[in-house]
Amino acid sequence: MVRRSVALVLALVLGAAGPASAFEVTDKFQHEGWQGEAVFQDGQFRQCHMWMLEINKWDLGLSLDKSGELRLGLRTTSIDQFWQMLLGQKIALRIQVDRGPVLLKAFTSVTPKILSTSLRGTDWDKRLAAGTLFRVNPDGKVKLFHLTGIKEAMGLLRKCVAKHGMV
């Protein structure tokens, strides 16, 4: 039950949430620590997303829609972004894969506990797939995410979109 609610929240977050409507998840997949599924809104394919729970009490999420937009989401109970979300303020976070270049991205607070950003126009689909460690500094302390199995999981994410994103 908790996983299903996390999945629906991630569907909203990673897909740039719109007005409330009926969400349905199908076609679940998993690889190592990654779990994913296809998300439909009002019967229409919206995206496929996957997430990984990390020992640091943060969750790392990725979503892909049929246009090819890859989004990155971060979730934790230890932050409160209520006012930023309400006021539409973004938060700039530094992210890094392995020891590659640091990317400064504007994250949107989609819920008080979930941040999301688009990776469109970057090569991060390749960086993440080949990476072993993801770093982010959301609260003055670097959080580490081990990317074990991400290459295969991203392949499953792409297959999910190819299967459900047909026009």
* 104-134: pLDDT as tens digits: 999 998 888 889 999 999 999 999 999 999 9
Which SS3 state, helix, strand or coil, does residue 132 take? Answer: coil
Nearest one of 124, 11, 119 to 70, comparing CA atoms: 119
What's the pLDDT tens digit per position in 16-55? 444 556 788 888 999 999 999 999 999 999 999 999 999 8
Measure Cα distances from 161 to 3, 39, 77, 98, 151 in Å.
21, 10, 29, 27, 16
From CA 128, how far away is CA 150, in angstroms rounded?
7
Which region, left, alpha or beta, applies to residue 147 given φ > 0 means left and ψ of -120 to 50 means alpha? alpha
Domains and CATH numbers, the chain: 2-164 (2.60.40.1880)
Write down the pTM of the prediction: 0.82
